[in-house]
Amino acid sequence: MHITFLGGGNMGRALIGGLLKVGLQAQQISVIETNPETASQLKKDFAISAIASIDAMALDGSKNNIVVMAVKPQDFKAAAQALSGRLQASAAPLIVSIAAGIRTGDMSRWLGQTRCVRAMPNTPALIGKGITGLFAETSVSDADRNLAEVICNALGQTVWVDQEQLLDAVTALSGSGPAYVFAFLEALQAGGERLGLDSVTARKLAYATLEGASQLANHSAENASTLREKVTSKGGTTAAALAVLKDLEWQAALERALAAAAERSKAMGDELGQE
């Protein structure tokens, strides 16, 4: 098996590092990166092959080739069309795209092949703690699905959706989700500071509370609603705080925020897929 990355930015770099950690050899990975400094750093850090052009890309004609499209969404079409000329002379590799908003139908149209899997990771993948939503058309084999899953598991966890439109929901929930968490952390820390805590202490309390509560929920057989009820004593401090949040309709606001993100994801897909 050989994996070629088109693009060696942050997410591509995270994937390369993750794959090497789970046992892939450096000689099984190459990257096409047009930025000389980025290419040089990738070679230095991972001892992988880095080339500057798709024209120099080596395909051995076997079905064991995998190409990970890790370019920016706005650059995807040009990269795919350049790659398509190289695919005609060899067996079509499995294409795994981590470019946001690029639909499988557009991938297939630009690449001239249907062996494509679409992936939507999130930024915690940069430390191996991400979760990636995956979709493939029914024509994609189970073996190819497994390969794509193995690759993306190097970033953390994976989930499959059976309708491509659900990747808009994945984007809204987990793709954009880290930003919601960061915003919550900002507010939690700021609230602590207004109550008299210094910034270092408030930050430590906020971050540790979020991390601990998330791990508790993740390891518990009970759902988040039950856990919330257990920590909320009638007439207590938590009940007073949650009453304010309820009055502010914070849950409805968050649901509206996710809906807006999903709608924007759909619109981006429409825009990026235009001829």
Q: Is 11 flagged in the annotation as binding?
A: yes
Q: Is 246 flagged in the annotation as binding?
A: no
Q: Is 150 flagged in the annotation as binding?
A: no
Q: Is 107 flagged in the annotation as binding?
A: no
Edge-first strand listing for the sheet containing 65-69: 49-51, 29-32, 2-6, 65-69, 94-97, 116-120, 130-136, 156-160
Q: What CA–CA distance (Å, rounded) separates 50 from 40? A: 8
Q: Is 9 flagged in the annotation as binding?
A: yes
Q: Is 73 flagged in the annotation as binding?
A: yes
Q: Is 6 flagged in the annotation as binding?
A: yes
77-86 long-range contacts (CB < 8 A, ≥24 apart) are: 77/106, 77/110, 77/272, 79/6, 79/7, 79/54, 80/107, 80/110, 80/111, 81/110, 82/54, 83/6, 83/54, 83/57, 83/111, 84/110, 84/111, 84/112, 84/113, 86/54, 86/55, 86/57, 86/59
Q: Is 72 flagged in the annotation as binding?
A: yes
Q: Is 71 flagged in the annotation as binding?
A: yes
Q: Is 23 flagged in the annotation as binding?
A: no
* Annotated binding-site ranges for NADP(+): 6-11, 70-73
* Annotated binding-site ranges: 6-11, 70-73
